[in-house]
Structure 1
Amino acid sequence: MPARDRTKAPWLPPRWFIRLAWSVHRGVHRASGGRIGLWKPRPNKWGTLRLTTMGRRSGRPRGVIVAYVQDGPHLVTLAMNGWGEGEPAWWLNLQAHPEAMVQTVTGRRTVRARAATGDERARLWDRWREIEKNLDAYAAKRSFETTVVVLEPLSGHRSPTVP
């Protein structure tokens, strides 16, 4: 009798639920005046930040809350779109306009976004894998490789005001 594969694919809630959860999270952050909804990453847990990009078509500021980990002075997130197909709008915006503003619990700063490649991508993916044990299985639900996005601080561009 052949052995059964007892590993189960990780469960994800439906895409509409993931989008709703992040929308509610963003709404709570906005309604609280930014006092609730952002937290620092810990050694075994990601943090959250508010990312404000410039709309690639509208030219208007667009805000989103994303998960991140710290890599020295850089902030690292995944362009995962709730593990659904397609790139998230914020990543498409950053490809068109790489400068953006991030707000963390420690303040606001201007960053420049880029996709990690090669050994750097592998190292940062492994860092995310330490935090999220099912990362590879979630990523396998997509038909293309998930972009690892590095947000590099621009020196001298700390700003107390963000749209």
Structure 2
Amino acid sequence: MTDHDAEALLTPTEWVANQARLYERSGGTRGTTLHGAPCLLLDYRGRRSGTWRRTVLIYGRDGGDHLIVASNGGADRHPLWYVNLVAEPEVVLRVGTERFRARAETLPSAEKARVWPHLVGVFAPFATYQERTERDIPVVRLSRLPGTP
């Protein structure tokens, strides 16, 4: 697939790391939702270290693409995974039982506006998170790379 190590470093947030372990160890059959919303595993490369890291994120769909929200719970700074994606946009996803490479791209404002209602429908707290901050919360499109099963 790539030089990606299946044992990517897990997020330091304990409950997220536990969910990521369950998701991966079950082959994508357990740990796939959070508060009823679908989740994926995002493996991304650290922009300084080059180390593969893994986190769990709620996602929506837009056609064949997956959409993730860099909400950071409404904090005034971007989550570190997002900062790393901007620098290194090639990622590895596990969505359920499927694992594949994808490219991350931050949506422009008009595109975000189009998909935002869908994402709030998937996970209503996204709207509250946006209200908590003056930061425009990015939405990221994850598109499967050609030649990936």
Tell me the TM-score normalized by structure 2.
0.79
Aligned pair partner of 1:22 in 5, 16, 19: 16
Of stretches 127-136 and 137-146 in structure 1, the one that deviates more from structure 2 is 127-136
Amino-acid identity (%): 29
| Correspondence 1:100 to 2:91 | yes
Alignment of 1:82-161 (within 5 A): 82-158=73-149
Segment of structure 1 superposing worse, 45-54 or 61-70: 45-54
Q: Which sits farther off after the overlay, 77-86 or 29-38? A: 29-38
Higher relative strand content: 2
Alpha-carbon separation, structure 1, partners of 2:80 and 2:91: 14
Deviations, residues 49-86 of structure 1 (Å, cap 9, x unaligned): 10100111110101111000111110001001132231
Equivalent residue of 1:112, what SS? strand
Runs (4+) of structure 1 exceeding 6 A deviation are none
Backbone CA RMSD of aligned residues: 2.0
Relative to 1, partners in 2 of residues 1:156 and 1:81: Cα closer, same or farther, differing over 3 Å? same
Counterpart residue number, 2:41: 50
Structure 2 unaligned blocks of 5 or more = 1-12
Q: Which amino acid letter does the alignment assign opposite residue 122 of structure 2? A: I
Distance 2:109 2:129 in 1: 21
Q: How many Å separate the matches in 1 of 2:58 and 2:108?
A: 20
Q: What amino acid does structure 2 have at the position aligned with 1:65?
A: V
Which has the larger Rg? Answer: 1
> CA distance change for structure 1 residues 149 and 69 in 2, over 3 Å: closer, same or farther?
same
Between Structure 1 and Structure 2, how many residues are aligned?
A: 135
Give the TM-score taking structure 1 as reference length: 0.73
Tell me, yes or no, if the aligned pair for 2:68 and 2:140 is still in contact at 8 Å.
yes
CA spacing shift, 1:127–1:25, aligned 2, 3 Å: same
What is the distance in 2 between the residues matched to 1:20 and 1:60? 19
